[in-house]
Each structure stands twice: as C-alpha cells, then as structure tokens.
C-alpha cells in the first residue's frame, strides 16, 4: 500500500514540477518579448538615420501635374493612402507628358488614365511608413479591389508590388501620399497601355 502511495505521490510531484517549469518558461518568454522588439526598433533606427527627414507636408513637395490630379480626385476629409507615380514614371510607363497630354483634345483620355491608375494605387485608410515594420509584408486591397503588397526597405522607404518609393509620408489633410518610381496597374491595363504604344509607333 505504502509503495503505491509513494509512487502516486512521486508521479504527482514530477507532474507538478514539469507544470511549474513550463509556466516559468512561458512567463519568462512573454516578459522578454518587449525587450526583443525594442532592440529591433533600435537597430532599425541605427540603420535608418534619415527616415524622419523624408516625411514632409505636401507644401514642401511637388507631385507633378498628374500626381496632383490623382490626389485631387480623392475626398480631402477622408483617410486615404495613395501611391503616386513620379513625374518620370508617368512619362516612362504611361507616356503621359504635361506639354501634350493635358491639351484640350487629349485631356479626357489623360483624365481617364490617371483615374484608372488612382483606382489601383489608393487604399481607403491612412497608411504611413511607421505602420509597416521592417521585414514584414502587409496586404491591402486598393479602392478598385487590386491587391497591394507593401513592405519596408532597410532605409525606411516603402516597396509596393515591387515598386520602390522615392518619398514617403507626404500629407494633404487626411490623405497620406507616397511617391513611387513606377505605376501600379493590373495586367489588362498594362496590356492596353502597351498596345496603345504600338499603335502610336505604327
């Protein structure tokens, strides 16, 4: 009888010790997590000393005519994020040039193209570079339903669908603007742009 009781007590004691050890490991792990995040953030700031200097208001940045046109299409009192192609990207990827694309005979076509690009590039929420952590990939649907995959580069610049930003966190009222070196578009729209180019060359 005593042997059985001793065995039962031994098993209960070992089980209790294992549970207490697991609990201690869990508590230590949970308490250590904030320290790890702080170290990562500090490391990020060591690598990225110029991140804050790139955050500016719209008054200090020229988005170009097409970029301004995109931003003006959005309601100013609602939170939006828009990835605006640079003036060079509009010229290179869409062949839009301020001198001829905004003339009265081509304005409607230009406006339609820019509004289509806006549909691919705008997200109905404010998304600054601070909300994306280095090393993680976040996904949002644009206002047209096109998926946007956003990451942060080592220098604090955002990368959306493999297109790198040149300027981040430009604000116009409730709208956050990131200027990117390319145009976000789906395959159909890209194909139509390419076919327009071939027609022009012919």
Every domain of the chain and the residues it spans? 1-47, 53-201
Q: What angle do CA 92, 76, 63 make, to 5 degrees?
A: 25
7/139 Cα distance (integer angstroms):
56
- pLDDT, one tens digit per residue, over 5-39 is 665 667 777 777 777 766 767 675 655 544 333 33
Distances in Å between the Cα of 201 and the Cα atoms of 3, 94, 183, 194, 195 are: 96, 14, 21, 11, 10
Tell me the residue length of the chain. Answer: 202
CATH code linked to domain 53-201? 2.30.180.10
Model-wide pTM > 0.85: no
Beta bridge partners of 137: 151
- pLDDT, one tens digit per residue, over 71-129 is 999 998 999 999 999 999 999 999 999 888 888 888 999 999 999 999 999 999 999 99
């Amino acid at each position: 009888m005593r042997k059985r009781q001793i065995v039962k007590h031994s098993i209960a004691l070992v089980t209790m010790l294992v549970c207490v050890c697991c609990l201690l490991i869990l508590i230590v792990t949970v308490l250590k997590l904030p320290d790890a995040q702080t170290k990562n953030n500090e490391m990020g700031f060591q690598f990225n000393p110029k991140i804050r200097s790139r955050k500016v208001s719209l008054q200090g940045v020229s988005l170009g005519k097409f970029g301004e046109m995109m931003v003006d299409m959005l309601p100013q009192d609602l939170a939006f994020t828009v990835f605006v192609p640079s003036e060079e990207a509009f010229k290179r990827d869409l062949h839009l040039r301020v001198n001829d694309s905004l003339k009265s005979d081509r304005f409607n076509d230009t406006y339609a193209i820019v509004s289509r690009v806006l549909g691919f590039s705008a997200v109905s929420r404010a998304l600054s570079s601070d909300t994306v952590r280095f090393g993680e990939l976040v996904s949002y649907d644009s206002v047209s339903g096109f998926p946007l995959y956003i990451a942060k580069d080592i220098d604090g610049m955002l990368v959306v669908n493999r297109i790198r930003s040149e300027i981040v966190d430009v604000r116009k009222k409730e709208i956050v603007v990131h200027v990117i070196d390319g145009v976000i578009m789906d395959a159909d729209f890209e194909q139509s742009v390419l076919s327009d180019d071939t027609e022009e060359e012919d």
